[in-house]
Structure 1
Amino acid sequence: MPEHTVRRPGRLQRQAQALMLLAILLSMFLVGYVDARKEITLVVDGKPRTVRTLRSTVGTLLEQQGIELEWEDLVEPSVDTKLERKMTVNVRRAVPVTLVVGGTAMEVKTAQPTVGKTLEFWGVTVDNKDRVDPEVDTPVTSGQKITVVKVEEKETKTNVKVPYTVQRRQDGNLELGQTRVVQKGEEGLAERLLHQILEDGKMVHEEIVSEEILQEPVTEIVAVGTMGTISRGGTEYRYSRAIDAVATAYCPTDVGGNRTAIGLKPKRGIVAVDPRVIPLGTKVYVENYGPALAADTGGSIKGNRVDIFVDSHQEAVSWGRRRVRVYVLK
């Protein structure tokens, strides 16, 4: 029988087989690598781009992409969220804003989308009565000023002094211009219920809701002197008031010798008056004429007008009509 010889693979053949196996394994690895990578949409400050990664969480993806975060920055979803295929990751960088709360200003950063969210982020509580400028749904912009005016309404009770009134009474026994306190005034006391509105701790409005008098005030009574004094020809005359009037002169014959309204004969020292201004029977002193008695009236004498009687027609003509001061004597 013929003999058969079995040949063993040569060195080159073994190397080729090893290379082929390595290529198969490498291709399988590459297929698995490509298949394991996740496609993610990364949006930074509104600018989107597509990235592929083997990282497992949002935080490690951002590290891979060289994105450093400040604690105020906003990442959605959060950094510890597991990545999934076709996921969108949003990064909003914080911008500087000025918060003015209760009158106190502070410079902060925020990545929150609206004024309201920014206030929540910084722990600012806004009550229904508080005022926010701009409004809470306003988008946040860099350099923006956000003002919160804290408004407080409250009711409070307080005791207040009630001022007394002053009553002035004419007193003919006192010299003109002098005064005398007849009854001293005293302040009263009242309890008030107040409704107050405060803005940033400062009062901006206050109104009285109710008031209860606890102690009535005492009216002050002051006597006012009406007795004046003039000196004419060495004689002093006391008067209660002075009137600026227009005086017309007549002699008794000009009126036919008729008696006056109170039955006296007209002569020097008799004057006609308006009784509503100077009552009949009142003693007066007419400047540049002398003492007289208001004893007559006249149809043309209205208001601050007087007629004086003189001794002659010539004297009446000489006097004519002039302005004088009439003192009402006591």
Structure 2
Amino acid sequence: MGNFVNNDPHDPRSSSKSLAMRWKHENVRVVSVIAVVAIAITLVSVLVGFSYSKKTVAIVVDGQERRLETRQETLRDVLDEHTIAVGSHDEVSVALDTEVKDGAQITIERAKPIQITVDGLTKTLYTTKDNVKQALTQLNINLKAQDKIFPSKLTSIASNMNIKVVRVTKGVEERKVKVPYQVVKQANPDMKKGTKKTVQQGQSGLVVQKIEKTFEDGKLVTARMVDKKVQAKQVNKVIAYGTKKEPELVVLSADSDDVGQSSGGNSDFDYKKKITNVQLTAYTETPGSVGAKTASGTKVTEGRTIAVDPKVIPLGWWVYIEGIGFRRAEDTGGAVKGNIIDVYYDSSKQVQRFGRKKGYTVYVIGPVKPEAS
């Protein structure tokens, strides 16, 4: 018999080892694939997460808008990221620690320095407002209706501009004013010329005035009277002075060459002065005024009254006119000057008939009429 030959090509031990090797190789491949997939998933997740954290924010500074992209969480970090500084007096629409969301709009108002003078002090303050009125309100500067603002309230704010507030106050005070009396002079025809007397005593008046005073920053600028009341009435002092003319007496010396004696009709009389070449005219008062007063204070009387020039014949003296008779110098006239005598008549017809006569002789006797002898 021949030898028995084993034809099994595989060694049982060798076969187990090969199976193990194949399993390990395949497992490594699977693990590698799983690891690669895991890494890919992680990277995608990171990238997706990173992409989703990116935000767009609008920052408006003094009306100018800037659109920024950021992944920062708070406004403070966003501003720091883009080097946008915020001053201590600037106004930001939200707090700096606010979480910023995509599409948010943030407003920043830059504060401007201004010089404000008020209540005697000048200060440098900061405002984000547009005009003077808004700035004063923001800075808690109280204004009264009558206060003055320079420049005006609606003036636009500019950096380092000067603003002045003038405090205006008004008050009313009472003032007593003494009103002195006036001296009034009144003519009195019944009193002798050159005399005077007090008819009414004067008394000062008293007026109470209300004065409105206006002060600007404590200094008086205007004062005006808004009311007045008479507390005591003023009484004027009245003084009467005389205008009555007294007859002018001219004393002629008895030693004068003009002194003599004459015969007038049935009377002999002494005279002080003789006047020759005298012109005679006649006059009367206006109709209805018979008995009017003369310059000497007497009433005009036909047959007695004549008008003379007092420098030639004294008022109140008697004269003898040749061809006319005795007459008394009682009146004067604007046209009676020098050696002219105006003879009074009651009737204007008699005046017309008398006309103008020249060449008469007149004897000046004196203040007493001669008696018939």
From 70, 88, 110, the counterpart of 1:93: 110
Q: Which residue of 2 aligns with 1:50?
A: 67
* Matching of residue 308 in structure 1 with residue 323 in structure 2: no
Residue among 37, 40, 51 paired with 1:34: 51
User: Match of 1:141, SS?
Assistant: coil
Among 166, 180, 188, the residue aligned to 2:182: 166
Q: Please, which runs of 5 or more residues in structure 1 have no aligned partner? A: 228-234, 236-250, 273-280, 283-292, 312-330
Q: Partner letter of residue 76 of structure 1?
A: S
Once the two structures are TM-superposed, the CA of residue 34 in structure 1 deviates from its matched residue by 3.1
Amino acid at match of 2:331: A
- CA drift at 1:46: 3.0
Matched AA of 1:91: I
Q: Deviations over 1:13-66 (max 9, x none)?
A: 989976764554344234323322331111223332222334333334323333
Q: Does 1:269 align with 2:313?
A: no
Deviations 1:94-136, CA, capped at 9 Å, x for gaps: 2233435467654433222333321112112234444555554
1:158 positional shift: 1.5
Bigger share in strand: 1
Higher alpha-carbon Rg: 2
Alignment of 1:78-157 (within 5 A): 78-101=95-118, 105-132=122-149, 136=153, 138-152=155-169, 156-157=172-173
**Aligned partners of 2:194 and 2:242 also within 8 Å:** yes
Amino acid at match of 1:120: T
Relative to structure 2, which stretch is displaced further, 91-100 or 164-173? 164-173
Which secondary structure state, in structure 2, belongs to the residue aligned with residue 7 of structure 1?
A: helix
Quickly say closer, same or farther: Cα 1:264–1:150, change in 2 above 3 A. Answer: same
Aligned to 2:91: 74
- Asked if the contact 2:56–2:102 (Cα under 8 Å) also holds between the matched residues in 1, the reply is yes
Distance in 2, Cα, partners of 1:104 & 1:222:
61
Residue equivalent to 1:241: none
Cα distance in 1 between the residues matched to 2:284 and 2:233 = 56
What secondary structure sits across from 1:40 in the alignment? Answer: strand
Work out the CA distance in 2 between the residues paired with 1:255 and 1:173.
31
Identical positions, percent = 17
TM-superposed CA distance for 1:7, in Å, is: 1.8
Return the alpha-carbon distance in structure 2 between the equivalents of residues 20 and 32 of structure 1: 18
Using a 3 Å threshold, how does the CA distance of structure 1 residues 51 and 162 change in structure 2: closer, same or farther? same
Distance 2:34 2:120 in 1: 82
Query: Partners in 1 of 2:330 and 2:87 — Cα distance?
Result: 103
In structure 1, the partner of 2:273 is none
Q: Report the Cα distance in structure 2 between the residues aligned to 1:224 and 1:60, rounded to whole angstroms.
A: 104
Distance (Å, rounded) in 2 between the aligned partners of 1:38 and 1:308: 127
Q: For 2:88 and 2:69, how far apart are their aligned partners in 1?
A: 26
Moved more, 142-151 or 117-126: 142-151
Residue of structure 1 equivalent to 2:360: none
**SS state of the match for residue 254, structure 1?**
strand
Q: Which residue of the partner structure matches residue 331 of structure 2?
A: 295
> Structure 1 253/224 Cα, relative in aligned 2: closer, same or farther at 3 Å?
closer
- 1:206 maps to which residue? 224
After superposing the two structures, state which structure 1 stretch, 130-139 or 83-92, moved more: 130-139
Q: CA RMSD in A?
A: 5.1
Classify the secondary structure of the residue corresponding to 1:159: strand
**Which moved further from structure 2: 2-11 or 259-268?**
259-268
TM-score normalised per structure 2: 0.51
Change (3 A) 1:37 1:226: farther
Matched AA of 1:159: R
SS for the counterpart of 1:61 is helix
Q: Which region of structure 1 is more displaced relative to structure 2, 29-38 or 136-145?
A: 136-145
Q: Could you tell me which amino acid in structure 1 is paired with residue 182 of structure 2?
A: V
Cα deviation code 1:201-232 (max 9, x no counterpart): 54446341x43444x266574869999xxxxx
